[in-house]
Chains A and B, each alone.
Chain A
Amino acid sequence: AQSVTQPDIHITVSEGASLELRCNYSYGATPYLFWYVQSPGQGLQLLLKYFSGDTLVQGIKGFEAEFKRSQSSFNLRKPSVHWSDAAEYFCAVVNRGGTSYGKLTFGQGTILTVHP
Chain B
Amino acid sequence: KAGVTQTPRYLIKTRGQQVTLSCSPISGHRSVSWYQQTPGQGLQFLFEYFSETQRNKGNFPGRFSGRQFSNSRSEMNVSTLELGDSALYLCASSLNHYTDTQYFGPGTRLTVL
Contact = CB atoms under 8 A, between A and B. Distances in A.
Contacts of B35: 104
A4 B42 CA distance: 12
Interface residues of A, number: 26
Interface of B: 4, 31, 33, 35, 42-43, 45, 48, 55-56, 58, 90, 92, 97-99, 101-107
A18 interface: no
Given A42-B106, A102-B98, 11 more contacts: A36-B104, A43-B106, A46-B101, A46-B103, A51-B99, A90-B43, A92-B43, A94-B99, A99-B56, A101-B56, A104-B45
Contact of A106 (B43, B56, B97, B98): B43
Q: Which has the most chain B C-beta neighbours within 10 Å: A44, A96, A102, A108? A: A102
Contacts, number: 59
Contact of B105 (A32, A43, A108): A43
Contacts of B92: 44, 104
Nearest to A52: B99
Nearest to B6: A43
Given A96-B98, A104-B33, A106-B43, A44 B56 contact: no
A95 interface: yes
A103 interface: yes
Interface of A: 32, 36, 41-46, 49, 51, 90, 92, 94-96, 99-109
A104 B102 contact: yes
A92 B33 CA distance: 15
Contact of A102 (B43, B55, B105): B55
Contacts of A104: 33, 35, 43, 45, 92, 102
